[in-house]
Amino acid sequence: MATTAPWTTEVPTALLVLADGTVIEGRGLGATGSAVAEVCFNTALTGYEEILTDPSYAGQIVTFTFPHIGNIGANDEDIEDLNPAARSGAVGAIFKADVTDPSSYRAKEHLDAWLKRRGIVALCGIDTRALTGLIREKGMPNAVIAHAPDGKFDVDDLKRQAAAWSGLVGLDLAKDVTSGQSSVWKETPWVWDEGYGEQQEPTMHVVAIDYGVKRNILRLLAGLGAKVTVVPANTGADEILAMKPDGIFLSNGPGDPAATGEYAVPVIQDILKTDIPVFGICLGHQMLALAVGGKTQKMHQGHHGANHPVKDHTTGKVEIVSMNHGFSVDSESLPDTVEETHVSLFDGSNCGIALTGRPVFSVQHHPEASPGPQDSHYLFRRFVNLIRAKRGEPALAERA
């Protein structure tokens, strides 16, 4: 039987309606209207702007377990999606506390105004611990998030929408967030009191296949000397190889990897017939696994946060990393020609692979995360060193 959650406000201006009929009442902020999506939780203490603009969150509503979100406002430097006009990040956000006025010298606007401009529906004033507990127990539910300043909702219709949505399984969202055309990326990482730089003298050429790429990935590649050509997710292998890349990057992105793999996997398989170094992150990791014969699976609650321990078997070291994925590679499905390089110490799930004897590897987590731990930045140098080795050049130190 449908229930109304006990954490309610006197005059609710926002609702979260779960597919099982549960109605959670809160105070609305951000964009008005409604959005249907999957609800997940993120455990990071900082970086809400980067989280909400990460294209990998397309089709999701993010519940922040940290109670105070919005205190530092918002600015145009901390977004992660390549195409802001496409609104390719999260469709909804859930906070515990009311959003306060910004308290940061970098703030350009209030989070509420930023959410409105981005078209993100949000609510606050609920027990996010209880909602997180529900997700941990029952898995990530489908839901509708709705915001109406007058407090008038057609609850029955919202329940029908939530129950009718098919969910992320079988859904290719990379096509919705990818670049519309090829472009060259030159921006390099942010430096205190200087901002972002620009790559002027590239020493190598990397083609990045954009399944929903994050800006800081491209910055780190450019910062290591790469001219980065970003191409749409459906770009063919012949077109990519005609660009004569020194390396090929498979980007992060949203949705069901098996669905995106229908057109992405054949391209990667053709690329793997060459000896060009390949590096994948998140969805790109899953695409690589599918291309070599592995399988992916939906996770119960996913991994979302900036405090996940991952072990790198190649070094024996444990890294604290950022993660954002609701699907994972089934390590048992990987062929003998693939080595498992990284594993989550939370649940033992696969977090990285490498092709035996080949300059090809990928990771499930986000080594570029900003803000977030920088423990895994070395992976970009590992990729660059594969390129340098192929050209007979000396390796960079993996850790700067």
**Is 300 part of the annotated catalytic residue set?**
no
Residues pairing with 92 in the sheet: 61, 121
Q: Per the residue annotation, which of 282, 303, 304, 308 is the catalytic one?
A: 282
Count other C-beta atoms under 10 Å from residue 10's C-beta.
6
H-helix or E-strand containing 257?
helix 257-271
* Rounded distance between C-alpha atoms, residue 286 and residue 270, angstroms: 16
**Is 368 part of the annotated catalytic residue set?**
yes
Q: Per the residue annotation, which of 304, 342, 365, 366 is the catalytic one?
A: 366
Are the beta carbons of 152 and 14 closer than 8 angstroms? no
Q: Is 131 helix (H, G, I), strand (E, B) or coil?
A: helix
**Alpha carbon separation from 392 to 202, 383, 385 (Å, rounded):** 17, 14, 10
Q: If we measure between CA atoms, which residue out of 199, 215, 236, 354 comes closest to residue 285?
A: 354
* Rounded distance between C-alpha atoms, residue 112 and residue 349, angstroms: 36
- For residue 201, give both structure tokens: 């003298």
Answer whether the bond into residue 371 is a cis peptide, omega within 30°: yes
**Is 393 part of the annotated catalytic residue set?**
no
Which residues are known to be catalytic? 282, 366, 368
